[in-house]
């Protein structure tokens, strides 16, 4: 076991992890941040997406040790400390961008990264960006609507379900 230090949601944290410990396991098991989900063991589903130094990453594909001194943002860090949802979370709620909610943390983190890179994405750009996030419930339609809304764009332009 080795000591690992990083900043998670703006707070300095130190924990112990083996060299093989995945970032997602460090966050969930080590820090109790269970909002980051594990939906596969093949790096395909995107339920585990967090931001590391501002970039969206699948936290099941990184070792915790690779995040020494990094800034990590998880779904728990998206709402403000008073509990108000971030604009992208609010848009998911307003546009029914979730059903069971299992994929939602990863979807929200990917969407937030997309809007940082591209504040006004087209529907096609949103769908392409979310290729690494799998949802088994929604058909993606309302997720795309939510992201369009969060970017201040019309949502009526996308095809009806």
Residues that bind ligand FES (CB under 6 A): 38-40, 43-48, 58, 60, 98-104, 135-138
Q: Which of 24, 23, 20 is nearest to 35 (CA)?
A: 24
Nearer of residues 8 and 58 to ligand FES, judged by Cβ: 58
Q: Supply the minimum distance, in Å, between the C-beta of residue 32 and ligand FES.
A: 18
Nearer of residues 102 and 129 to ligand FES, judged by Cβ: 102
- Which pairing describes strands 71-73 and 2-8: parallel, antiparallel, or unpaired? parallel
Q: Supply the minimum distance, in Å, between the C-beta of residue 81 and ligand FES.
A: 26
Asked if 160 and 145 touch (Cβ cutoff 8 Å), the reply is no
Nearer of residues 110 and 151 to ligand FES, judged by Cβ: 110
Strand-pair partners of 2: 17
Asked if 151 and 119 touch (Cβ cutoff 8 Å), the reply is yes
Nearer of residues 33 and 135 to ligand FES, judged by Cβ: 135
Strand-pair partners of 55: 52
Asked if 66 and 2 touch (Cβ cutoff 8 Å), the reply is no
Residue given tokens 């059903």 in the structure block: 99
Q: Supply the minimum distance, in Å, between the C-beta of residue 149 and ligand FES.
A: 17
Q: Supply the minimum distance, in Å, between the C-beta of residue 21 and ligand FES.
A: 14
Nearer of residues 13 and 38 to ligand FES, judged by Cβ: 38
Q: Supply the minimum distance, in Å, between the C-beta of residue 152 and ligand FES.
A: 24
Which of helix, strand or coil describes residue 17? Answer: strand
């Amino acid at each position: 076991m080795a000591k690992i230090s990083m900043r998670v949601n703006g707070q300095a944290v130190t924990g112990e992890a083996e060299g093989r410990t995945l970032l997602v396991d460090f966050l969930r098991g080590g820090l109790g941040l269970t909002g980051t989900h594990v939906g596969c063991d093949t790096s395909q589903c995107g339920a585990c997406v967090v931001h590391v130094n501002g970039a969206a990453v699948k936290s099941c594909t990184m070792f915790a040790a690779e995040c020494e001194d990094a800034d990590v943002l998880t779904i728990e860090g998206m709402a403000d400390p008073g509990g108000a949802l971030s604009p992208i979370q609010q848009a998911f709620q307003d546009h029914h961008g979730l059903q069971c909610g299992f994929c939602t943390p990863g979807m929200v983190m990917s969407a937030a990264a997309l809007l940082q890179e591209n504040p006004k994405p087209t529907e096609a750009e949103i769908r392409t960006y979310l290729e690494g996030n799998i949802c088994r419930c929604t058909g993606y339609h309302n997720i795309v609507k939510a992201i369009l809304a969060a970017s201040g764009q019309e949502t009526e332009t996308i095809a009806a379900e």
